[in-house]
Amino acid sequence: MVDTRPDPDQLLEKINKEAEKHKRGRLKIFFGACAGVGKTFAMLNAARNLQLENVDVIVGIVETHGRQGTAAQLVGLTTLPLKTVSYRGRDLTEFDLDAALARKPALILMDELAHSNVEGSRHPKRWQDVEELLSAGIDVYSTLNVQHLESLNDIVGQITGIRVTETILDNVFDLADEVTLVDLPVEELLQRLQEGKVYQAQQAEQAGKSFFRKGNLIALREMALRRTADRVDSQMREYRSNLSIQQVWQAKDRLLVCVGTGAEAGRLVRVAARLANSLKSDWLAVYVETPKLQRLSAAAREGVLKTLSLAATLGAETTTLSGTEVASVLVDYARSRNVSKLVVGKSTRSAIERLIWPSVIDKLTSLATDIDIHVVSREKVLAEKSTQLVDSASNVTSSYQADPDNDAPVLKGYYMAAAACAVTSGIADVVLPYFESANVVMLFLLGVVLISSKYGKGPGIFSSIISVACFDFFFVPPRFSFNVSDTQYLVTFAVMFFVAFLISNLTSNLRFQAAVAMHREKRSRAMYDLGKSLASALTSAHIIEISAHHLTGIFQSKIAILLPNSQEKIMQPILNLADDQTLTIDLDLAIAQWVYDHQQQAGFGTNTLPSAPVLYIPLQAPMRTRGVLAIVPNSAIGNTKRSIFLPEQRQLLDTLASQVAIAIERVHYVDVAQDALVFMESERLRNSLLSAISHDLNTPLTTLLRLQICLSSS
């Protein structure tokens, strides 16, 4: 029976989150494609309905933009007075956060969530004001256009030709308690624009020629609908997870393709990409690594990495999973992501083989009863050696060797198996007069277990065969021959071989699983150590020094971190250390600049400029790209292992690069805050000095003026 009970840790985390939510206010966002669809009108209308229910509602700030219908909705609502802020000789009005906190209404209306506050305000962004209001337990209604989402800002700029500078982080939108989509057909919106219901006449004419073109509005509307649908899909997945619902709800098509090691893996990914494109759905590419697959050759593992890279290029979300059974791991992951369709390759096993050893497709058919399975046929391809799947990186060695701490030849395991059987036979010959032959069998089984746990499956099976032969030759009458006088011993041989084979297989799998756990622990430890060290860094130079030191040891490579200057041009690295010695890397700043501008990897081992000896990775932080990480594997110079090309190592490298980028962004904003504080203090000191000087000059000037008046009158 399948255990459908919720995970205790997830349940505790959910309870803690719910407790925190009760202390905070609720945020509701009225979301639309662009200005003029009626977001502010809908927000005010909802607020008026709540006011009729005796809810304490006030208007924090609302921009009517001269729309009479919107202004009419403000009648009867309490409006919080705005505060005046002096900026560059001008008096500007801004939302009064302190007054709102002191008033503490049940609900406050905050129009234009992505608005940038006047310099000198407590927070640079309005959404930060909203966050403080929510922390104080005040509910907030706000409005937002799709072009103000940071993740969609570049796409909107490419479509409309206009770059929006005021944006908010996507997690602010995702963490909203409720999002209401305010939608309007494009033709009706253009009609409203012509009638002056969106902007004033002069502004409307200019907007109609630039931003408010029909094609732009259609694209923005589609983006708003899709972003809202993605949020609803996330809520549905969270609901299923909270209630431990295993059955897939096919409310939205989502594809998952299982990447294998065969030559047809690339074709399988392309078929899945075409299917996802035809269905207009998201898709995922997954590689499941089992103990058996951990023994793949370097060429085969590099082929998997290339297939995952191809899937990512075609728009898939890629990941690597681990488990003992491919089918069960796939189904569990598919259900956790609410996947509606599985795409797998056709099995190469014959019908007879599938009766004995069911294929992955057979197991998926029995396990995934609520998921559609698409089986892709195999093309007849010429037999190619696995070494043809890779290029200059084909010398990559697997991180899971038969014995990571022993570089001895593979044959050593078989030699040790033969030696162990010889020693066991000697011990058994000594104890045979005192014990039954059944006890002697246990000695041989012990030898098989020890060989399997130390040297793996192959030597373990070899040891089981030699053990049966030695037991037959030395201890079964007639001794010193392979003839068997008692047919009962044939059953003993069969059972002994089966048990020995089973034990060798189990111990081998257990050993490889232990190797997987060890490497996972190493990767987790590496992320923890780097994160802990970066948390204490206060300058960019310190971050670069820490990052280079950690990444060099993890990946056995030379590391350099390149940062942009004030003109967004990549400069030579400030610091490049490994083992407390300065390393020199032949860097191409042109490639690094391309990586920084396009936010894509380039150089060694990628599809862009693969002949370059250096791998360039963009340091992408939540707000923007903060620099470029340059890495040169030592194997590009010598014959050491190039571990960065293993799938799990590339994921680790990308994760650590993100940690470095976030640390650099944190220090950047700390510097910005310090500069703002220094500027504010200098302005305050300047104003105080001017006030003192004006006061000191005021007295003598007044005296001279009075004296002049007296002299004139006399």
CATH (domain of 44): 3.40.50.300
Question: Which residues touch 642 (CB under 8 Å, ≥6 apart)?
Answer: 393, 395, 396, 633, 634, 635, 636
Contact between residue 256 and residue 221 where contact means Cβ atoms under 8 Å apart: no
Strand partners, 181: 31
In a domain, 677, yes or no: no
In a domain, 599, yes or no: yes
pLDDT bracket for residue 246 (50, 70, 90): low
Whether residues 289 and 230 fall in one domain: no
Shortest CA distance to 559 belongs to which of 542, 543, 536, 578? Answer: 578
Helix ranges (H only) for 540-646 are: 540-555, 589-598
DSSP code, position 570: B
- With a CB cutoff of 8 Å and minimum separation 6, the contacts of 353 are none
Q: Do residues 94 and 82 make contact, with C-beta atoms less than 8 angstroms apart?
A: yes
Which range, of 50-64, 374-388, 487-501, 643-657, averages the lowest pLDDT?
374-388
> Residue 264: what are its φ and ψ, rounded to 5°?
-90, 5
Q: Are 166 and 262 within one domain?
A: no
Residue 247 above 80 pLDDT? no
Structure token pair of residue 42: 């809908």
Q: Which domain holds residue 364?
A: 254-389
Q: Give the phi and the psi of residue 260 in degrees, each rounded to 5.
A: -110, -165
62, 93: one domain: yes
Share of the chain above pLDDT 90, in %: 9
Q: Are residue 548 and residue 486 in the same domain, yes or no? A: no
3-state helix, strand, coil in the chain (%, to 5): 55, 15, 30
> Last residue of some domain: 222, 242, 262?
242
Task: Choose the most confident range, by mean pLDDT, from 9-18, 115-124, 198-207.
Answer: 115-124
Q: Of 243 and 164, which is predicted with more confidence?
A: 164
pLDDT top residue among 59 and 309? 59
At residue 392 the predicted structure's pLDDT band, cuts being 50, 70 and 90, is very low
Question: Structural domain tally of the chain?
Answer: 4
Mean pLDDT of the region 247-256: 70
What CATH code is carried by the domain that includes residue 339?
3.40.50.620
Whether residue 282 is found in the same domain as residue 215? no
| Structural domain includes residue 306 | yes
The whole-number pLDDT of residue 105 equals: 93
Name the band, by pLDDT with cuts 50, 70 and 90, for residue 305: confident
Are 509 and 547 members of one domain? Answer: no
Provide the 10 A C-beta neighbour count for residue 424: 23
pLDDT of residue 388: 35
Collect all residues with Cβ–Cβ distance below 8 Å to 140 and sequence separation of at least 6: 25, 26, 27, 28, 107, 108, 109, 110, 130, 133, 134
Q: Please tell me whether residue 341 adopts helix, strand or coil conformation.
A: strand
d(CA 146, CA 315): 21
Contacts of residue 202, defined as CB under 8 A and 6 or more positions apart, other chains included, come to: none
**Whether residues 237 and 261 fall in one domain:** no
* Least confident span in 105-109, 316-320, 649-653: 649-653
577 and 606 in one domain?
yes
pLDDT reported for residue 9: 59
Q: Decide: helix, strand or coil at residue 627.
A: strand
- Angstrom distance (rounded) from CA 93 to CA 96: 9
Structural element, H or E, at residue 691: helix 647-713
Write the CB contacts of 483 (distance below 8 Å, at least 6 apart in sequence): none
Sequence-separated (6 or more) residues with CB below 8 Å from residue 363: 325, 326, 327, 328
**Secondary structure (DSSP) of 60-74:** EE---TT-HHHHHHT
CA angle, 432 as apex, 428 and 435 as ends, to 5°?
115
User: Considering only CA atoms, which of 639, 647, 567 is closest in space to residue 605?
Assistant: 647
Query: Do strands 107-110 and 178-181 pair parallel, antiparallel, or not at all (unpaired)?
Result: unpaired
Of 109-123, 177-191, 640-654, least confident by mean pLDDT is 640-654
Single out the residue of 648, 660, 654 nearest to residue 520, CA to CA: 648
| 25: helix, strand or coil | coil
Higher-scoring residue by pLDDT: 17, 145: 145
**Domain boundary residue, one of 193, 222, 242:** 242
Plot region of 673 (φ>0 → left; ψ -120 to 50 → alpha; else → beta): alpha
Question: 394 versus 437: which is more confidently predicted?
Answer: 437
Over residues 476-528, the pLDDT tens digits come to 777 777 776 666 667 766 776 777 677 767 776 777 677 777 777 777 888 88
Mean per-residue pLDDT, 344-353: 74
State which of 496, 514, 532 marks the end of a domain: 514
Q: Select the highest-mean-pLDDT range: 385-394, 401-410, 452-461.
A: 452-461
The CATH number covering residue 544 comes to 3.30.450.40
CB 627 within 8 A of CB 540: no
Q: Do the beta carbons of residue 448 and residue 463 sit within 8 Å? A: yes
pLDDT greater than 70 at residue 221: yes
Q: pLDDT at residue 389 above 70? A: no
In a domain, 698, yes or no: no
- The whole-angstrom separation of Cα 284 and Cα 310 is 12
Residue 4 covered by a domain: no
| Nearest to 188, CA basis, from 169, 164, 212, 165 | 212
Confirm whether 590 is domain-assigned.
Answer: yes
One domain for residues 43 and 153:
yes
Amino acid at 133: L
Q: Are residues 157 and 303 in the same domain?
A: no
* Local confidence band at 380 (pLDDT 50, 70, 90 cut-offs): very low
Is residue 311 domain-resident?
A: yes
One domain for residues 426 and 316: no
Would you say residue 572 has pLDDT above 80?
no
Report the run of H or E that residue 180 belongs to, with start and end: strand 178-181
β-strands 615-620, 625-633 pairing: antiparallel
Residue 703's pLDDT is what? 74
Q: Quick one: pLDDT at residue 144?
A: 92
- 306 and 375: one domain? yes
Q: What is the pLDDT of residue 637?
A: 42
Mean pLDDT of the chain: 77
Answer whether residue 550 shows pLDDT above 70.
yes
Residues 94-130: tens digit of each pLDDT: 898 989 999 999 999 999 998 888 887 888 889 999 9
**Is 2 domain-assigned?**
no
Query: DSSP of 660-680, one letter per residue?
Result: HHHHHHHHHHHHHHHHHHHHH
Rounded distance between C-alpha atoms, residue 47 and residue 49, angstroms: 5
